[in-house]
Structure 1
Amino acid sequence: MTAAEFARAQEPAVTAKYFTLDEANRTLPFVSRIVHDIVDEYRHWRENIYRYELITAGRRADDAETEEQGRLRRAVDDSAHRINGFIEELSLVGCVFKGFEEGLVDFRSKLTDRDIFLCWKLGEPEIQHWHEVDAGVAGRRALVPELTG
């Protein structure tokens, strides 16, 4: 899977859904299972990419593909397909997948009159952070009373 395919898979749905904190937290049992699957499958994808690169290092482009290369290439493609499917499931829920290593997910929300993201990470029991739309994970802040209602 190329970086462009990953980026396309992470784009929000055409009609963005906005969540209250309670609504977003109610999705977490389902969302966490999907994110766990993504993170696990991503590890397999990276391992197979690494193994494929090891066995193809030093080979010429016109060399015929070995059986092992073909098996690994198919495994990489299969993992990428599964990852895309999981990310599509998240987009149908209305959230945006943001991070393969940590399992980051953003939920569109509002704080007073501006768009923000409620930010959740795999392993957290509930949403505890938010950030500005353009800030990303580095801008994560603890929830404020306006969001916790």
Structure 2
Amino acid sequence: MDKRYTIEEANALLPLIRQELRQLQDMADELEEQYIAYRKLKAVVQGKPSKEDPLFELESKLDFLQIELNQYVENFTRKGILLKSIEPGLIDFPAVVEGEEVLLCWKEGEASITHYHGWNDGFIGRKRHPEA
């Protein structure tokens, strides 16, 4: 990752990140609902002879939703942002704090970014950002 964010830059992106995360969460929910519907239909039609494939439409929809979801995840990557979790939203922004390569971390529900952690520390190793 080449991009490094200041805490101001990362916080300025949060409104957009919240919006994109909400859309991603909606897509993930839709994909899960469609997958459950697919599994139910598959259980009903499995082994029954049919001239048409009743699963084809749902399989196509699932494929499309998965591609769309992957593209949305890629949007975060293109910004140099690490999407750690969709639900709840957990986002890391590469940064440098006091000369050290770290990740500014934001968890869905937080008003702003106020903490960071080392690349190997994870969320549990969060420290308060000196500028927060």
| Structure 1 stretches of at least 4 aligned residues deviating more than 6 Å after TM superposition | 62-65
Q: Is the 8 A contact 2:4 2:94 kept in 1?
A: yes
Quick check: 1:86 aligned with 2:47?
no
Deviation readout 1:55-75 (Å, 9 max, x if unpaired): 223725x987732x2222122
1:100, CA displacement in angstroms? 1.8
Aligned residues: 130
**Aligned counterpart in structure 2 of residue 45 of structure 1, from 25, 31, 46:** 31
Question: Is the contact between residue 36 and residue 122 of structure 1 (CA under 8 Å) also seen in structure 2?
Answer: no
Structure 1 position 141 matched with structure 2 position 129: no
Contact 2:114 2:129 in 1 (8 A): no
| Cα gap change, 1:66 to 1:16, in 2 (>3 Å) | same
Larger radius of gyration: 2
What is the one-letter code of the residue matched to 2:30?
A: H
User: Which stretches in structure 2 are left out of the alignment for 5+ residues?
Assistant: none
Residue of structure 2 equivalent to 1:11: none
Contact 1:129 1:140 in 2 (8 A): no
Contact map agreement 1:119 1:140 (CA 8 A) in 2: no
Match of 2:86 in 1: 100
Task: Work out which of the residue numbers 97, 115, 118 in structure 2 matches 1:132.
Answer: 118
Note if contact 2:81-2:91 (Cα within 8 Å) is conserved in structure 1: yes
TM-score by length of 2: 0.82
Please give the TM-score of this superposition, normalised by the length of structure 1.
0.74
Asked if residue 66 in structure 1 is aligned to residue 53 in structure 2, the reply is: yes
CA RMSD of aligned residues (A): 2.4
> Which has the bigger relative contact order, CA under 8 A and spacing at least 6?
1
Gap runs ≥5 in structure 1: 1-14
Number of the residue aligned with 2:3: 17
Please tell me the residue identity of whatever aligns with 1:110. V
Alignment partner of 1:56 is 2:42? yes
**1:47 deviation in Å?**
1.4
